[in-house]
Structure 1
Amino acid sequence: MASTHHPARSIPRRLAVVVTATVLGAGLVVGSAQAEPDRADAVAQVEQAFNAAAAVNEEVNQLTSDIASAQASIAALDAEIAEIQADYDEQRDALGSVIAQQQIDSPLGTTASLFGSDDPTSFLEGLSAVQAFNSSQAEALDAASSTADDLASRQTQLEQLSAQLEADKADADTKQAEVQDAYDAAQAQLSQLDEAQRVQFDTANTTSLPANPGAAPSAFSGSAIDFALSRIGVPYRYGGNGPDSYDCSGLTKASFAAAGVSIPRTASAQYSASTKVSMSDIRPGDLVFYGSMSHVAIYLGNGQVVEAPSSGSSVRVTSMRSDFTKAGRFG
């Protein structure tokens, strides 16, 4: 019986194997190419999550600052009210005493007593005295009335401040819970990154800015830098003011306070209070900010900053990121 083997038919089979392998290989390449954007997207999402938490944290910091300011204003207003109340009580008692004595001396009234006088000279003198007395009493009444109005105004201010204080406290509590939820969610996302993604997360968006030749920090900026560098390794914590933990603006405020310079508590307030500087003109000791004002750091020179990172890491020195788009200087 003739053989049924046909060598020619084996060629398509070999081609099919090659084609299949090629397609599979191409699929692996495509899959790898797709993995890179996915990896970058995952890292970007984690960054956005931490930035969102940091932004809400700065709102909490501002509310905390507002609460402290309101409490100080209320204390000062309480002292003013007590002083005004004492003045009012004194004026009221003095007027009461004069009126009571007048009733004792002239039950029918001073003017009625004058009309009973037969001596014209005494009458005129007495009339002048009555007019002077009435004028004095009118001034005293006006003064007491003004004091009463001032007292009422201060009491209204106190009520408004107290109401705002309670509203700010409630808002701060709500936003603090938001910060914790956002931070927990960001940490959960961070824990899902693989090792390569973690490395990418730690070094994402880094860029080197040219050093500013000859530009050196001022004396107090140098002291601020020294303090910040001394805090390397101290844990990050939302709302941290030191010395055991810091958030970003807590570290910058503490650093400048150590140098003898008082700056506001939050990133946005620090930027508003600073002298604005172009990013191309920054020098060591300047503060650099995210455009969203969710983060602030101290520029060290050579494209590096010292910061309390919003990612929950410890205080560190790191390369400038492209998110830093604004700068401010004190002194």
Structure 2
Amino acid sequence: MSSSRMLLRTLVIAGLSALLVAPTGVARAEPSVGELTARIEKSSTELERVVESYNKLNEEIKTNKQTAARLHAKIGPLEAQTTQSRADVAKLAATAYKTGGLRTAEALLEPGSGSLMDKLSTIDQVTRQRQERIAGFTTNQRKLLDEKARLDATLARQNAQSRTITATKKKIEQDLAKLYDLRREAYGRATEAPAPRPASSAASPASTAAPAVSGAAGTAVRYAYGAIGKPYVWGGDGPDGYDCSGLTLAAWRAAGKSLPHNAAMQWNATSRVSRSALRPGDLVFYSGLGHVALYVGSGQVIDAPSAGRNVLKRDMNMMSIAGYGRVG
């Protein structure tokens, strides 16, 4: 064998040996805390959108249940009226059958007491009464059928939403598991440690003491300050945990005002104000209306940030702002 061929064979064998002993995959550096944090932020934003869609479905189901209850309440009396109208019409039909239809009119026209005009007037009145009864039956029956159709549509919509909400809940739980794994990898634990609670409001540091705000807005602001350090809980509206719209809902509920449990719905339920007119107690909405926070003054908001974190006070410009809302 020639020396060049021997050299080629040696190189091939050496190459194969290197492949056999080489690791099966390319070694990769572990992701840095900064990279993990970026992934956590992205996952948290996506998860919050899903949570808010879950909250919206819940609000719609509540509305549909209320609508169904009102329809049920209306259908009961309508059924009774329709049954009575049906009985009246059946009685009229039976009477007409027994008397041969026109015998009553013939009897009225026979010689006897009363003028012809009086008798004709009586016939007209009887005819009108019969027509009114028949028309009443038709109207009641139509109303009943319309209300039943509305109820059926409402219940069908509610059932579809219930199925969707079950699927959405499953997705949230799957997304949460992934997010918590990322947080463990980055920070050593899935959730932030609960913030220490001061023994009394007098002992609260200035950074966590609620400002003096009067009226209902003051009640909402004080409630939000009291929630600082409590955990984010998806679908939560207190008192042990909150998601973003659950916190603003609970704060204003304490002040006697009702808000839906969804950021986009809260946008629709509040009046628009400018940034320059912003007052403590107003709501700050973020781009896509997927997040909402309570303004507490001095450019600060209190919000429930995302899964794994606690309610906190922070700069209102932490994300792109969509607008501002005032609770009426």
Scaled by the length of structure 2, what TM-score is found?
A: 0.75
- Cα distance in 2 for residues equivalent to 1:294 and 1:78: 35
Q: CA deviation at 1:235?
A: 2.3
Any idea what the Cα deviations from partners look like across 1:300-328, whole Å, max 9, x if unmatched?
22332222221322222233343151322
Partner of 1:93: 87
Residue 41 (structure 2) aligned to one of 27, 42, 47: 47
Indicate the larger mover: 123-132 or 107-116: 107-116
- Cα distance in 2 for residues equivalent to 1:103 and 1:124: 26
| Greater relative CO (CA pairs within 8 A, separation 6+) | 1
In structure 2, do the counterparts of structure 1 residues 108 and 78 end up closer, same or farther at CA, with 3 Å as the change threshold?
closer
Partner of 1:109: 102
Q: Is the 8 A contact 1:74 1:162 kept in 2?
A: yes
Q: Is the 8 A contact 1:114 1:123 kept in 2?
A: no
Partner of 1:132: 125
List runs of 5+ in structure 2 lacking aligned partners. Answer: 1-28, 193-210
Q: Is the 8 A contact 1:267 1:289 kept in 2?
A: yes
In structure 2, do the counterparts of structure 1 residues 83 and 112 end up closer, same or farther at CA, with 3 Å as the change threshold?
closer
Partner of 2:173: 180
Partner of 1:147: 140
- Cα distance in 1 for residues equivalent to 2:219 and 2:101: 80
Partner of 2:75: 81
In the alignment of these two chains, the number of paired residues is 278
Q: CA deviation at 1:231?
A: 2.1
Any idea what the Cα deviations from partners look like across 1:235-293, whole Å, max 9, x if unmatched?
22110122222111111101101011222221111122222233354332221122122
- Cα distance in 2 for residues equivalent to 1:280 and 1:115: 84
Residues 228-307 of structure 1 correspond to what in structure 2 (within 5 A)? 228-307=224-303
Q: Is the 8 A contact 2:234 2:307 kept in 1?
A: no
- Cα distance in 1 for residues equivalent to 2:42 and 2:265: 22
Is the aligned partner of 1:169 residue 2:162?
yes
- Cα distance in 1 for residues equivalent to 2:300 and 2:107: 92
Q: CA deviation at 1:149?
A: 0.5
RMSD: 2.9
Looking at CA atoms only, which structure, 1 or 2, has the larger radius of gyration?
1
Any idea what the Cα deviations from partners look like across 1:148-206, whole Å, max 9, x if unmatched?
100010010011001000011111111111222222222222222258xx99xxxxxxx
Letter matched to residue 304 of structure 1: Q
Any idea what the Cα deviations from partners look like across 1:194-229, whole Å, max 9, x if unmatched?
58xx99xxxxxxxxxxxxxxx985521111011111
Q: Is the 8 A contact 2:54 2:165 kept in 1?
A: yes
